[in-house]
Amino acid sequence: MNNLFNLDGKIAVVTGGSGGLGSAMAGGLARAGARVVIISSREQTGAAAAAGITAAGGTAMSLAADVTDPAAMWHAAEQCEKAWGPVDILINGAGGNAPGATTTATQSFFQLDAPSLNKVFNLNLMGAIYASQAFGRTMAERKQGNIINIGSMAAARAITRVSAYSAAKAALDNLTRWLAVYMAQEYGPGIRVNAIAPGFFLTEQNRFLLTDKETGAFTARAKTIVAHTPMARLGEAEDLIGTLLWLASPASAFVTGIVVPVDGGFSAWSGV
For position 206, what pLDDT does the model report?
74
Is the pLDDT reported for residue 59 higher than 90?
Answer: yes
Report the chain's mean pLDDT, rounded to a whole number: 95
Is 83 inside a domain boundary? yes
Is 10 inside a domain boundary? yes
Is 228 inside a domain boundary? no
Q: Read off the pLDDT of residues 161-215 as tens digits, 9 standing for 90 and up.
A: 999 999 999 999 999 999 999 999 999 999 999 999 999 998 877 788 788 888 9
Is 79 inside a domain boundary? yes
Is 160 inside a domain boundary? yes
Closest CA to 87 of 233, 236, 191: 191
How do beta strands 35-40 and 259-262 pair?
unpaired
**For residues 136 and 185, what is the distance between their CA atoms, to the nearest angstrom?**
15
What CATH number did the domain enclosing 33 receive? 3.40.50.720
How do beta strands 145-150 and 191-198 pair?
parallel
The DSSP-derived string for 229-258 is STT-S-B-GGGGHHHHHHHHSGGGTT--S-
Q: Count other C-beta atoms under 10 Å from residue 104's C-beta.
A: 11
Is the pLDDT reported for residue 3 higher than 90?
Answer: no
pTM of whole model > 0.85? yes
- Count up the domains in the chain and report the number: 1
Is 113 inside a domain boundary? yes
Q: Give catalytic residue positions.
A: 165
Is 159 inside a domain boundary? yes
Of the chain, the percentage scoring pLDDT greater than 70 comes to: 100
Q: Read off the pLDDT of residues 125-157 as tens digits, 9 standing for 90 and up.
A: 999 999 999 999 999 999 999 999 999 999 999
**For residues 34 and 223, what is the distance between their CA atoms, to the nearest angstrom?**
38
Q: How far is CA 242 from CA 25, 154, 239, in A?
A: 10, 21, 7
First to last CA, the chain: 40
Is 230 inside a domain boundary? no
Containing domain of residue 53, as a range?
Answer: 2-199+235-263
